[in-house]
Amino acid sequence: MDAVTKICEGKVALVTGTSRGLGKAIAQGLAATGATVALTARTMDPDPKYDGSLRQTLAEIIEQGGSAIAIQADLSRSEDREQMFAEVVERVGAPDILVNNAAVTFLRPLDNFSEKRVRLMFDMHVLAPLHLTQLAIPAMRERGRGWVLNVTSVGGDLPAGPPFSEFDSAAGFGIYGTVKAALNRLTKSLAAELYGDGIAVNAAAPSNPVATPGAGTLDLAKTDTEDIELITQTALALCTGDPRKLTGRIAHTQPFLREIGWLV
């Protein structure tokens, strides 16, 4: 790799939800730029019920010449988050970069959405990113620099209407959109509070569904899909930019990449 591609050399990046999909792609992108990547998810070993595992992601990064570790954790549990973060610090150091990607999604109409599933989605999409950011702040603040990226969705945008489209009224995205909207607001608030500390906090969302295993399971990626490289490049830009200038952004991949000149 040349000097340009090693922009993250010497940095530690913690990326959640890295057994497959967007998290795996972002982790591989950060590793390719020189970061030591701490991978975490619930699935450590290959399982016929799931596509991808932490061990597979770890092996691919190592084979490509990158540096990484893998730690299994259920990020819906605060004790797991604390234990995982402590192990990351012990093994490779406190993260310079935190990417909150791990998620769990249920699509149901609101009139029969169970409280248990609502709580789990809030735990994963809102509380876990907040908690992990809180754990990362002290070392970032001491260094005077740091980058936090929350993986969000255009589903967090308010639907247009009335009248409402058939998709908006029937797709069951109510809770998903609510937790992503909350994550977007949390991103803005953290960016404002941490601006003086040199810590950038941003969110990134694919402009269109990405054909990942998760999207396929939820039947979200039949048409109008975009290449996973777009979210990877968006993440890399937001995790390496000047925290004084590139913070507090809710970046949709395609317009953001056009803004920075990566897309035309």
Per-residue pLDDT of the chain (264 residues; tens, 9 = 90+): 344 479 999 999 999 999 999 999 999 999 999 999 999 999 999 887 778 999 999 999 999 999 999 999 999 999 999 999 999 999 999 999 999 999 999 999 999 999 999 999 999 999 999 999 999 999 999 999 999 999 999 999 998 889 988 878 778 999 999 999 999 999 999 999 999 999 999 999 999 988 655 544 444 444 457 899 999 999 999 999 999 999 999 999 999 999 999 998
Q: Which residue has the tokens 């990405």?
A: 210
Question: Which residues, 6+ apart, have CB-to-CB distance to 230 below 8 Å?
Answer: 206, 207, 210, 253, 254, 257, 263
Confidence at residue 214, expressed as pLDDT on a 0 to 100 scale = 52
125 secondary structure, DSSP code: I
Q: Do you find a cis peptide bond into 162, omega within 30 degrees of 0?
A: yes
Token pair 């970046």 is found at 251
Q: For residue 107, with 0-12 CB atoms within 10 Å meaning exposed, 13-18 middle and 19 or more buried, which class applies?
A: middle
What is the rounded radius of gyration, in angstroms, for the C-alpha atoms of the chain? 18
50 is catalytic: no
Peptide bond connecting 109 to the previous residue in cis, omega within 30 degrees of 0: no
d(CA 174, CA 28): 32
Closest CA to 150 of 238, 30, 29: 238
Nearest by Cα to 72 from 106, 32, 26, 38: 38
**What pLDDT sits at residue 9?**
97
Q: Are 88 and 105 in contact (CB under 8 A)?
A: no
77: which residues sit within 8 A by CB, 6+ positions away? Answer: none
Q: Which of 124, 176, 214, 231 is catalytic?
A: 176
- The pTM is what? 0.93
Tell me what pLDDT residue 224 has. 58
Q: Domains in the chain, please, with CATH?
A: 12-259 (3.40.50.720)
Beta carbons of 57 and 19 less than 8 angstroms apart: yes
* Contact by Cβ (8 Å): 43, 9: no
Question: What is the C-alpha to C-alpha distance for residues 62 and 81, in angstroms, rounded to an integer?
Answer: 25
Residue 236 phi, psi dihedral angles, 5° rounding: -60, -40
The token pair at 70 is 């893998």
Q: 107 to each of 10, 102, 190, 193, 220, how far by Cα in Å?
A: 40, 17, 28, 33, 11
- Starting at the edge strand found earlier in the chain, the sheet holding 36-41 runs 67-72, 36-41, 12-16, 97-100, 146-151, 199-205, 250-252
